[in-house]
Homo-oligomer: A and B are copies of this chain.
Amino acid sequence: MCLSKVYFERGGRKEVFLEEVASVTVDDGKLRLKTLFGEQKEINARIKEIDLLAHNILLADSGVNST
């Protein structure tokens, strides 16, 4: 199973935003995340990094860099 843990980076700190994520859809700057269990979450953010080996996706503010 290749689910990912999704982190949100804010001010240099990484916080877990959602776990067991199965898909991420980008829609006009908004991200829609779905877990294997059907949970859905939306966030105004941008994808900063996808690490498929570590099973991590890193999000950041969609606007100006905050780090």
In the complex formed, the residue of B with least CB distance to A60 is B26
Total identical chains:
2
Cα of A25 to Cα of B50 in the assembled complex, Å: 6
Give the Cβ gap from A46 to chain B, nearest Cβ, in Å: 7
Closest Cβ–Cβ distance, residue A17 to chain B (whole Å): 14
Roughly how many angstroms separate A46 CA and B48 CA in the complex, as a whole number?
11
Is B46 a contact partner of A3 (Cβ separation < 8 A)? Answer: no
- In the bound complex, CA of A1 to CA of B53 (Å): 7
Is A40 in the interface zone, CB < 8 Å from B? Answer: no
The interface of chain A, by Cβ under 8 A from chain B, is 1-4, 21-26, 36, 46-53, 55, 57
Return the 9 tightest CB-CB contacts between A and B, nearest first: A2-B2, A24-B50, A2-B52, A23-B51, A25-B49, A22-B53, A47-B47, A22-B52, A26-B48
